Amino acid sequence: MSIKIVMVDAGQLPSGAEFPPLEIPKYGWEEYLERDQAATRGQGVELLAFPDADFSNLGGAQDLCNRISQAVDHYIARDKTDGADQ
């Protein structure tokens, strides 16, 4: 399995925030400084939103990066489980 992760509005994160490695062997990140979210959805991209995230400082931004990686890992694990049931 491979996955492409698109980080929308990555330019809003302060320098030094890093995404932890994911629990899958093949993945790639694409970062966009700004991108229209409706257009992104129209291309079949599933968006995750973290409305309560405070990424104005490095600690909050790193927490957001960690949460995004955890959400992706959860999504992948769910996908594997759903596929095993079929």
Q: How far is CA 51 from CA 11, 33, 48, in A?
A: 17, 18, 10
Please list, in sequence order, all residues whose beta carbon lies within 8 angstroms of the beta carbon of residue 83, skipping any fewer than 6 positions away: none
Structure tokens belonging to residue 66: 């960690």
pTM over 0.85: no
Which neighbouring-strand residues pair with 26?
Answer: 2
The confidence score (pLDDT) of residue 55 equals 79
The confidence score (pLDDT) of residue 86 equals 46
* Local confidence pLDDT in tens for the 86 residues of the chain: 556 676 666 677 788 888 777 777 777 667 766 667 788 778 777 777 777 888 788 998 898 888 888 888 887 777 767 655 44
Q: Where are the domains of the chain?
A: 2-84
